[in-house]
Amino acid sequence: MEETTNQNVSTSTRASLGDRFLGILIDELVIIAASYLLSNIVGWSLSYLIAAAYLLVRDALPFLDGQSIGKKVMKTRSVREDSGEPLTNDYKTSILRNILLFIPIAGLIDALFIFSGDGKRLGDKLAKTVVIYEK
């Protein structure tokens, strides 16, 4: 039986753990490659700052239609749990769902939460978001 968590997001549209993992792996590989290339142009310090900014706001970037590069490839998207709306231009929510990933112990705990019954990271719970497949 399909369970609905709100008016627009059902459990059947939620992205699988495997697709979520591949999406973040793609994001991390893109960041590593881009940081290396940018470091030769703008220096390491600025390239790290750009990488950190991307990781925080990746789900809100309008030129990526509110998806990270990894989510675009995997055809997934972070949306607000209450409305099913994408996070495009919602930088506050994007930062809230991703900030814990920068704190070593908190980042590990955050990642482990994905194995909870609802399959949501701690960042998703705090920001009230869910990762779904694109429609």
At residue 119, the pLDDT reads 83
At residue 128, the pLDDT reads 95
At residue 35, the pLDDT reads 87
pLDDT at 80 over 80: yes
Spatial neighbors of 15 by CB under 8 A, at least 6 apart, are: 23, 74, 76, 131, 132, 133
User: If you average pLDDT over residues 116-125, what whole number do you get?
Assistant: 88
Q: Could you tell me the pTM of the whole model?
A: 0.83
pLDDT at 67 over 70: yes
Tally of residues, the chain: 135
**Measured between alpha carbons, how far apart are the two ends of the chain, in Å?**
20
Domain boundaries, the chain: 15-133
Per DSSP, the three-state class of 10 is: strand
